[in-house]
Amino acid sequence: MTKQYLKPLALALAVSLGLSLTACGKQEPAANAPAPTSTAPAPASTTAAADLGKSIFDVSELDPTINACQDFNGFVNAKWVAANPIPNDQTSWGAFNMLNESSLKTQHDIVDDASKNADSAKAGSIEQKIGWLYHSGMDEATIEKNGFDPLKPKLDAIAGLKSGDDVANFITQRYAEGDGQVFEFGSGADFQHADMQIAYANESGLGLPTKDYYTSPEHKEQRDAYVAYIAKSLELTGVTEADAKQQADDVLKFETQLAAASLAPVEERDPKNQYHFVSVKDADKVTPHFNWEKFFTAQGVTVDKGFSLSQPKFFAQFDKMLASTPVSQWQAYLRFHAIDDASPYLSKNFQDNKFAFYGTTLSGQPQQKPRWKRVLSAVNQGMGQALGQLYVAKEFTPEAKQRAEELVTNVRNALKARIENLDWMSADTKTKAIDKWNKFLPKIGYPDKWRDWSGLDIKPDNYYANVKAAGKFNYEYDIAKIGKPTDRKEWGMTPQTVNAYYNPTDNTINFPAAILQPPFFDAKADDAINYGGIGAVIGHEASHGFDDEGSQFDGDGNQKDWWTKADKTQFEARTGKLVDQFNAYAPIKSKPDLHVNGKLTLGENIGDLGGLNAAYDALQMALKSNPEEASKQIDGYSQDQRFFLNWARVWRGSMRDKTAELLINTNPHAPESLRAIGAPSNMPAFATAFQCKPGDAMVRADDKQVKIW
């Protein structure tokens, strides 16, 4: 239950929601668009290898009945979406999902092979541990036979609680086992001294997606279903129907009190709400019934000057409930969450019960993923970096890494040029922005150094115990960083993850191996395809350093205001237009009054706009050095057009209505169909490439056109 703050800013929502929700074409520059002036890009990495006679982008998938200037997403993706319905075990289906499925297939081959050979593998090797972890998860007969026996000691401990002090001690001791309750605890870079890691305690403890789900009339159906799910969970462990109903009502009332003191999603995004440094003595004043010194001692953590009690209002409410909430209500809450947390690793009835609520009721998913995918998810959660080590050895070549590094250099240089040529930013702020740009650390593919797993004990025949052992091992690995220097080279994603991210507190941009594949990156593709794909992803992550969150941190990762007042005012006026643009979108036909939250999605939308502009500029520089390619058409489309076509293809996909509603309420990423059109509609280069005219839907009026970076 640990989580590092500030949250890394990922390119996209993870394609698999899982079952837990307590889980970024151009003509010459117009007169008002600065031309790149920084160092010329490295030689284009794809030009020499491009086979221009082969179709890298299948234009037969385009829909000529849809006007690209009116609905660019429809023009690029509608035919494909209509021909590719969402599989029953998915909540969405598109480019990310397909690439993720490819990654999962490779991972499946790896873990299946490891499972077959685990007994004879080198003792203590990652191959043996991964093999046994996967094998134990696939041993359904043993798991069914055990039922919920593995959970009984914890349920017995909860049954024995008699006071608020007992509850506080229980939470402390469970955390020492890597089994977090109520709040989240872990390491993270100090917002004021980012070169050092400190302890963070953060709000958590809710089973519904956001605080609004506990009180808003429109979420009554989900609340009722949640209470039914809680009751059924309790009944599966032998609680009578009447007692289970009473306890379920108690859990909802309990969580409603926590929710009232919790942050809304937009508030969560604000770094000012993610860091509150206090001494241990001052923390105890906030929670007089929860002793932080005792907690740290039990975790084996030494806190010197203090730690971040990140949301004091939440912890004050937590303490109030320790003192005043009946122990029976605490027991109901802890009992349910013990069952809920363990359900994926228990017998089938527990797994099905959890899926029925989180998978079907909340997300609209008709059926569970096959057993091997669910167990593989647990392997990734427990030993993801170790699996990544085997994945990279099989899938990712040094040549691919080198080509990606060249693209990163080119796009970063283009972003630098855009900053240097901004007409709305003062020289003082530009100097600090370029200083931050200079301190970016790009990381490509996989870590320079792999983790040591020698302290993790995995058995061949006990899935629940293995999952718990991995959780404890990873928790101890995380909190061991407290009080130590920040390691900027450490990764927060595994190499097999189809995503990318920016981390404000270490100023790194990170591109796992699994995303460096078509449609994002193809060594045989023309430059336009690669810059419209991975180039825009690179620009997106780099632009996060200058979005509404990232812009609050300097090049060293410290939360520091490096803006002049006038420049900040200009920035907020420009980003305000982007908020308005996305506020106007209502993507679910059956819910025309449900709009995207422009403030919640602002950071990702800034990333898209800045990233696509920077990638476009980088493409122009690459084509300038290769005029022959620049003038060629491929499959009837120019390089500028293919750039935007691949951008839209990256965001190809469809989503179940319930999933879309859930994500609009909770997630900082706008729906993919809107990301395909949102940034291009602000770019004159797009209108020129497709000969769009003022008044077309994909051409925003001058007073509404968003220009930031």
Q: CA separation (Å) from 521 to 100, 403, 525, 526, 527?
A: 14, 10, 8, 10, 10
The predicted-structure confidence for 314-344, as pLDDT tens digits, reads as follows 999 999 999 999 999 999 999 999 999 999 9
Written as six digits, the tokens of 223 are 């609340």
8 A C-beta contact, residue 84 and residue 58? no
Written as six digits, the tokens of 535 are 């180039």
Provide the CA 122 distance to its chain's centre, in angstroms: 35
Q: Mean pLDDT over all residues of the chain?
A: 92
Q: Tell which residue, 32, 312, 308, has the closest CA to residue 191.
A: 308
Q: Tell which residue, 1, 2, 662, 4, has the closest CA to residue 341.
A: 1
The predicted-structure confidence for 455-491, as pLDDT tens digits, reads as follows 999 999 999 999 999 999 999 999 999 999 999 999 9
Q: CA separation (Å) from 642 to 56, 226, 547?
A: 10, 47, 27
pLDDT of residue 75: 98
Instruction: Give me the percent of the chain exceeding a pLDDT of 90.
Output: 89
Rounded to an integer, the average pLDDT of 152-167 is: 98
3-class DSSP state for residue 704?
coil
pLDDT of residue 17: 45
Show the DSSP H helices in 57-163 as ranges. 72-83, 95-117, 126-138, 140-146, 152-159
The confidence band for 15, taking pLDDT boundaries of 50, 70 and 90, is low
The predicted-structure confidence for 218-239, as pLDDT tens digits, reads as follows 999 999 999 999 999 999 999 9
pLDDT of residue 400: 83
3-class DSSP state for residue 501?
strand
The predicted-structure confidence for 344-369, as pLDDT tens digits, reads as follows 999 999 999 999 999 999 999 999 99
Q: How many residues can be counted in the chain? A: 709
Residue entry with tokens 């995004």: 269
8 A C-beta contact, residue 458 and residue 127? no
Q: Where are the beta strands (DSSP E) in 577-662?
A: 653-655
Q: Return d(Cα 701, Cα 269) in angstroms, integer.
A: 30
Cβ neighbors of 659 (< 8 A, separation 6 or more) are 17, 91, 92, 363, 364, 365
How many CB atoms are located within 10 Å of the residue 473 CB? 18
8 A C-beta contact, residue 412 and residue 540? no
pLDDT of residue 674: 98
pLDDT of residue 55: 63
The predicted-structure confidence for 409-442, as pLDDT tens digits, reads as follows 999 999 999 999 999 999 999 999 999 999 999 9
Q: CA separation (Å) from 381 to 388, 497, 679?
A: 12, 12, 34
pLDDT at 97 over 50: yes
Rounded to an integer, the average pLDDT of 623-630 is: 89
pLDDT of residue 11: 84
* Rg of the chain on CA atoms, in Å: 26
The confidence band for 601, taking pLDDT boundaries of 50, 70 and 90, is very high
pLDDT at 10 over 90: no
The confidence band for 27, taking pLDDT boundaries of 50, 70 and 90, is very low
The predicted-structure confidence for 29-67, as pLDDT tens digits, reads as follows 222 222 222 232 333 333 333 333 346 899 999 999 999
Written as six digits, the tokens of 112 are 């299946």
pLDDT at 627 over 90: no
Rounded to an integer, the average pLDDT of 184-190 is: 98
The confidence band for 3, taking pLDDT boundaries of 50, 70 and 90, is very low
pLDDT of residue 628: 85
8 A C-beta contact, residue 143 and residue 467? no
pLDDT at 522 over 70: yes
Q: CA separation (Å) from 372 to 122, 131, 147, 181?
A: 24, 13, 19, 28
pLDDT at 7 over 70: no
Rounded to an integer, the average pLDDT of 237-250 is: 98
Burial class (CB in 10 A: 0-12, 13-18, 19+), 301: middle
Q: Name the residue with higher pLDDT: 280 or 53.
A: 280
The predicted-structure confidence for 565-582, as pLDDT tens digits, reads as follows 999 999 999 999 999 999
Rounded to an integer, the average pLDDT of 133-151 is: 98
